Chain A
């Protein structure tokens, strides 16, 4: 049930998602290298306080669903020299993800 303090999970494992291409200031746990990249939801980790808010001694609300998202390395790094199926798996908060069409 949605309420002001908690965002509902909107993605399920297997969903194709893209990381938002925004570059704000502040305490952000979405690494620079993954912004704008496309991946697949690997699992829902849970719903957690938002570190972007907690970092300023604020309550961390609304809590955000946190996912592990799997990306193909060769799609993240243009010059990736490893295996074609190698992946990078990262925890990303829902508000940084968009449905990838």
Chain B
């Protein structure tokens, strides 16, 4: 019997646990990720379809370990690289700068 491809996001009907009615107030950085998504798609720099496709290619472990907005900033950034809007070099430099600011 062949096993067909099933995306890790495509989980309808799979066994799972009790629904914990958990929610948290979104942190500012999370709201900003959301804002980036809304603004960039409104301005036509990316589509929500590209974002979803990028999230779907995360490995199963990453998909479940990363928080919702971690997955979205990953997807936004991948899409911007794919579209040629940011370069890998400037991204790496920017991340390093932000991390070193945080350590102060």
Q: From A3-11, A49-57, A91-99, give the one contacting chain B.
A: A49-57
**Contact of A27 with B56 at beta-carbon distance under 8 Å, contacts A55-B50, A57-B50 already known:** yes
A residues lining the B interface (CB < 8 Å): 23-28, 31-34, 51, 54-57, 60, 77
Please state if B12 and A56 are interface contacts (CB–CB under 8 Å).
no
The 6 A-B residue pairs whose C-beta atoms are closest, nearest first, are A23-B4, A55-B53, A54-B49, A27-B53, A55-B49, A33-B13
Distance A27 CA – B4 CA, assembled complex (angstroms): 15
Number of A-B contacts (CB under 8 A): 41
Please state if A33 and B12 are interface contacts (CB–CB under 8 Å).
yes
B21-53, CB < 8 A from A: 46-47, 49-50, 52-53
**Contact of A31 with B10 at beta-carbon distance under 8 Å, contacts A23-B4, A23-B5 already known:** yes
B residues lining the A interface (CB < 8 Å): 4-7, 10, 12-13, 46-47, 49-50, 52-53, 56, 82-83
Dominant secondary structure at the B interface: loop
Residue of B6, B7, B53, B56 ringed by the most chain A CB atoms within 10 A: B53
Partner of B5, one of A24, A33, A55: A24
Minimal beta-carbon separation of B49 from chain A (angstroms)? 4
Please state if A31 and B49 are interface contacts (CB–CB under 8 Å).
no
Residue of A25, A27, A34 ringed by the most chain B CB atoms within 10 A: A27
Please state if B5 and A57 are interface contacts (CB–CB under 8 Å).
no
Please state if A57 and B83 are interface contacts (CB–CB under 8 Å).
yes
Distance A75 CA – B56 CA, assembled complex (angstroms): 28
Minimal beta-carbon separation of A3 from chain B (angstroms)? 22
Distance A28 CA – B6 CA, assembled complex (angstroms): 10
Residues on A with beta carbons closer than 8 Å to the beta carbon of B83:
57
